[in-house]
């Protein structure tokens, strides 16, 4: 049971906080929160791995586990029982509403780890963008089975696209679970083969070698997930930490608590009492119960009636926290996913036209002036057009290669202007990283990622 306690207020926000007031929370954990997104090719074993991990850590009740064991035996697919654990955590989520980003959590020695975007959704990428937009670190799961790693890694496989996406969304720390190594007899040679191929690619994708850790494991057998390995073949050559300890060693990014408040809304629902709730992540700043916030882009003032973090109520929440906020003073009908709760004085910019520096991954037809796209900005999806191609840049130096190029092909880097069908809340990347990134998609394929470099008054 959770107990009231005084929390450690980061020193940077002390000046904003009334020293005579007792701030308390029922978080029940003093551990740092680390948000993780799980990525990888379909069937790499993501759900099985995370399900097994949660079971090993006692996060799943014996009763639930027993139920799944029986059901999975019945259909002759016993290996499914772990994958179901994650679905259940998603479904059982409080308030009876389904969210795109399902959540499950577990603890390591020093951290409380929240899994964003339980994998296994039908249309994974848009959800993954939302999940990854809120994550601190990523876990990339690859299937070590001969032939399977190769097909997931080849062009068209999701291993590459996911890794590129999370890096473009600003995630720099990556743990790679070299999974299903049971199918390769725990071969060191196979492990190294995968490691070498991925190392090269990840470096090109912009990950620093020191920020990437590889762990051999099996989600199905549970090997090397939360305890040191016991398989003789693996013990012979692997002396590193288990998956849980690798996750524990990830750094929690510095939370921008002293900057003006920004909360991106990724879910809206009716609360129990008066008012309604919005869920989202505090990108910047501090939120106190009783605060007045500006709902943008509609620019209406709302009052914060309650805050909860991981479903426990709290009087205060900081940048980095995933919160549900009960609001009053605005009509639920007027609020939509993708809106931002902003500091009323230092407001979030609202515009329908901005300049971005794009990295083009994958286009069938080169991008030309007027090119229609869907932009993903946090949890928002809107139609937009690339209205101006301003400059083609050198990929590594950023130097202008050509002004006003006629088109942009694969793997190019360019400065463009984008016009969205309606005004949205955006920031320049240099001001607020999380609100300064966009992904561009066409017909279900991510074609480019961009950083917002300028915002025009519209």
Q: Which residues bind ligand GDP (CB under 6 A)?
A: 40, 42-48, 79, 83, 119-120, 179-180, 182-183, 218-220
Residue 149: CB minimum distance to ligand GDP, A? 13
Residue 181: CB minimum distance to ligand GDP, A? 7
For ligand GDP, the closer CB: 113 or 178 = 178
Q: Which two tokens stand for residue 76?
A: 């002759």
How is residue 367 annotated by DSSP? B
For ligand GDP, the closer CB: 218 or 378 = 218
Helices (H) and strands (E) in the chain, counts: 9, 24
Residue 47: CB minimum distance to ligand GDP, A? 3
Sheet holding 32-39, edge to edge: 103-107, 111-116, 32-39, 137-143, 173-179, 212-216
Residue 242: CB minimum distance to ligand GDP, A? 14
For ligand GDP, the closer CB: 46 or 111 = 46
For ligand GDP, the closer CB: 135 or 181 = 181
Residue 117: count of CB within 10 angstroms of its CB: 27
For ligand GDP, the closer CB: 180 or 376 = 180
Task: For residues 132 and 117, give the distance between their C-alpha atoms in angstroms, rounded to a whole number.
Answer: 8
Task: For residues 34 and 42, give the distance between their C-alpha atoms in angstroms, rounded to a whole number.
Answer: 24
Residue 444: CB minimum distance to ligand GDP, A? 18
Q: What is the dihedral of CA 72, 73, 78, 80, to 10 degrees?
A: -10
Residue 346: CB minimum distance to ligand GDP, A? 42
> Which of 403, 448, 411 shows the shortest CA–CA distance to 169?
448
Dihedral sign of CA atoms 337, 342, 344, 345 in order? negative
For ligand GDP, the closer CB: 175 or 284 = 175
Dihedral sign of CA atoms 59, 63, 67, 73 in order? positive
For ligand GDP, the closer CB: 48 or 342 = 48
Q: What is the dihedral of CA 15, 20, 26, 30, to 10 degrees?
A: 50
Residue 119: CB minimum distance to ligand GDP, A? 5
Q: In sequence order, what are the residues at sequence separation of 6 or more whose Cβ sits closer than 8 angstroms to the Cβ of residue 371?
A: 385, 386
């Amino acid at each position: 049971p959770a107990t009231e306690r005084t929390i450690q207020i980061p020193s940077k926000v002390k000046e904003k906080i009334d020293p005579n007031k007792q701030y308390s929370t029922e978080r029940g954990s003093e551990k740092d929160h680390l948000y993780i997104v799980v990525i990888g090719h379909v069937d790499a074993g993501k759900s099985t791995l995370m399900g097994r991990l949660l079971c090993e850590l006692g996060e799943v009740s014996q009763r639930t586990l027993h139920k799944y064991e029986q059901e999975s035996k019945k259909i002759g697919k016993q290996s499914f029982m772990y994958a179901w654990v994650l679905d259940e955590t998603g479904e059982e989520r409080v308030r009876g509403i389904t969210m795109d980003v399902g959540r499950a959590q577990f603890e390591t020695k020093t951290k409380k780890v929240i899994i964003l975007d339980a994998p296994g959704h039908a249309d994974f990428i848009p959800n993954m963008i939302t999940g990854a937009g809120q994550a601190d670190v990523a876990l990339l799961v690859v299937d070590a089975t001969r032939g399977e790693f190769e097909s997931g890694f080849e062009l068209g496989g999701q291993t590459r696209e996911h890794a590129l996406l999370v890096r473009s969304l600003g995630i720099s720390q990556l743990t790679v679970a070299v999974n299903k190594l049971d199918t390769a007899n725990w071969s060191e040679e196979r492990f190294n083969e995968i490691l070498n191929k991925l190392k090269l690619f990840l470096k090109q994708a912009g990950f620093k070698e020191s920020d990437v850790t590889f762990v051999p494991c099996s989600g199905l057998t549970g090997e090397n997930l939360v305890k040191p390995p016991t398989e003789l073949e693996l013990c012979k050559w692997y002396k590193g930490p288990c998956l849980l300890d690798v996750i524990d060693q990830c750094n929690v990014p510095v939370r921008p608590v002293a900057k003006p408040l920004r909360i991106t809304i990724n879910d809206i629902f009716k609360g129990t009492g008066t008012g309604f709730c919005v869920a989202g992540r505090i990108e910047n700043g501090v939120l106190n119960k009783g605060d007045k916030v500006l709902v943008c882009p509609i620019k209406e003032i709302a009052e914060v009636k309650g805050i909860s973090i991981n479903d426990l109520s709290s009087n205060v929440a900081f940048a980095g926290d995933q919160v549900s906020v009960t609001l009053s003073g605005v009509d639920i009908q007027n609020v939509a996913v993708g809106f931002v709760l902003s500091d009323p004085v230092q407001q979030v910019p609202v515009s329908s036209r901005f300049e971005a520096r794009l990295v083009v991954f994958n286009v069938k037809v080169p991008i030309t002036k007027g090119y229609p796209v869907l932009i993903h900005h946090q949890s928002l999806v809107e139609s937009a057009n690339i209205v101006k191609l301003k400059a083609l840049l050198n990929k590594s130096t950023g130097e202008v290669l050509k002004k006003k190029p006629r088109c942009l092909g694969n793997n190019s880097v360019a400065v463009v202007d984008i016009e969205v069908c309606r005004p949205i809340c955006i920031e320049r990347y240099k001001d607020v990283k999380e609100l300064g990134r966009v992904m561009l998609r066409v017909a279900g394929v991510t074609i480019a990622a961009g950083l917002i470099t300028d915002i025009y008054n519209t």
